[in-house]
Structure 1
Amino acid sequence: MLSFLEPLIEIEPKFQQIIDTYGLPTITTRPSGFIALSQLILEQQVSMASAKACYDKIENYLNGFTPKLILEASDEVLKKCGVSRQKISYLKNLAFTIQQNHMDLESFQYKTEQEVFNELIQLKGIGKWTAQVYLMFCLQKKDIFPIGDIAIQHSMRELFNLETLEEMENHAENWKPFRSLATYLLWHHYLKKRNR
């Protein structure tokens, strides 16, 4: 994705300032599939460490992490592993959808960003932000801009003096088709500026 830096910087020179100040961002990827989506559900509104501990407990207790194992696990077992009642329903719904072949995660590689996004947000517990993060990290889609992310909003205010989400989204239109890379640079700015 960093190969798109030059054309993006031509469009938006401020990104060069981020690189000059903080260096290049590290662009991490995650495997795609049922486990990745389940982990994103577990990560909602909690720390990464807490979500990882929760996932590890489930995997250890069930001796694996598959749609079949999640559907067979009782709510009590999942609760003991630290999963909230709401997230249990999200995980079971996702597992059921996959097991019944109502959604083919493998096919996402061949679909457009919009097609995948539209499918994902039909699932209970998968909102815009979760779908966009899956598209960026798991499918490496190139033109995603998760405007609901608080760090992105902070960086847009700091760097471009934009206040409303509408202004931010309109400004980001200029960065097409490299908005995922722009997002990584905005996160990089946000974290480095705050020594994280």
Structure 2
Amino acid sequence: MKYIEYGKEELDYLIKKDKVLGDYIKKTGFIKRELNSDIFTSLISSIISQQVSTKAAKTINERLNNIVINLTPKKILELDDSLLQSIGISFRKVSYMKDIAKNFIDKPYIYNNLNNLPDHLIVEELIKLKGVGTWTAEMLLIHSFNRRDVISFLDLGIKRGIMRLYNKDSISKEDWIYFKNLYAPYNTIASIYLWEASK
């Protein structure tokens, strides 16, 4: 299993940059967060996870992995829609998954080269896919592309973590910009700790 790469350099930087987050990092210690560098399977998992609980998403992903070993775009297209629906995937999500699979087969020159693009262009490409919004694309930047400087304004866990650590009742766009600038260039590592603080 792979994990998001970071270490002492990034943590020391954040500890020095911000006392509140720094104290939380020192109290919490090192956090491992899984990394899945397979963009296609990450997208499929993200579609499955939309609007369902973490537990339900895990169960459905396990069922899918029991049906298909080594998930590929070709295998998704070969699966019968009713079979996918029978394991808990809605009709709409099945259509999203098939559309993503078709795009990966039809346009390999785009998806095989995403990692060569800067963050904002990766997001631009991914949100062209049906069912993929900005938040999903930003989560892939972190958990698949291992990008170092990502913090999502659309993520409720991030907002909750900031509110708890900094005793705020809400987070405005201006607040988020402030924290984004504060944590740069290691927003991803800050995000990992903000998620932990949100629990």
TM-score (norm 2): 0.86
Q: Which residue of 1 aligns with 2:175?
A: 168
5+ residue gaps, structure 1: 192-196
Q: Which residue of 2 aligns with 1:71?
A: 77
- CA–CA distance in 1 between the matches of 2:53 and 2:65? 19
Deviation at 1:10, TM superposition (A): 2.1
- CA–CA distance in 2 between the matches of 1:120 and 1:132? 9
1:109 aligns with 2:76: no
Change (3 A) 1:110 1:63: closer
Deviation at 1:27, TM superposition (A): 3.0
- CA–CA distance in 2 between the matches of 1:82 and 1:157? 34
Q: Which amino acid aligns with 2:78?
A: E
Aligned length: 191
Q: Which residue of 2 aligns with 1:132?
A: 138
Deviation at 1:162, TM superposition (A): 6.2
Equivalent residue in structure 1 for 2:190, among 182, 186, 192: 182
Q: Which amino acid aligns with 2:10?
A: F
- CA–CA distance in 1 between the matches of 2:58 and 2:163? 31
5+ residue gaps, structure 2: 1-5
Deviation at 1:145, TM superposition (A): 0.6
- CA–CA distance in 2 between the matches of 1:60 and 1:6? 42
State, as a whole percentage, how many aligned pairs show the same letter.
26
Quick check: 7-16 or 179-188, which moved more? 7-16
- CA–CA distance in 2 between the matches of 1:24 and 1:162? 28
Query: Contact between 1:29 and 1:137, CA under 8 Å: does it hold in 2?
Result: yes
- CA–CA distance in 2 between the matches of 1:113 and 1:21? 31
Equivalent residue in structure 1 for 2:154, among 148, 152, 176: 148
TM-score (norm 1): 0.87
Q: Which amino acid aligns with 2:54?
A: M
- CA–CA distance in 1 between the matches of 2:37 and 2:69? 20
Change (3 A) 1:63 1:154: closer
Q: Which residue of 2 aligns with 1:25?
A: 31
Q: Which amino acid aligns with 1:164?
A: I
Quick check: 59-68 or 2-11, which moved more? 59-68
- CA–CA distance in 2 between the matches of 1:61 and 1:5? 41
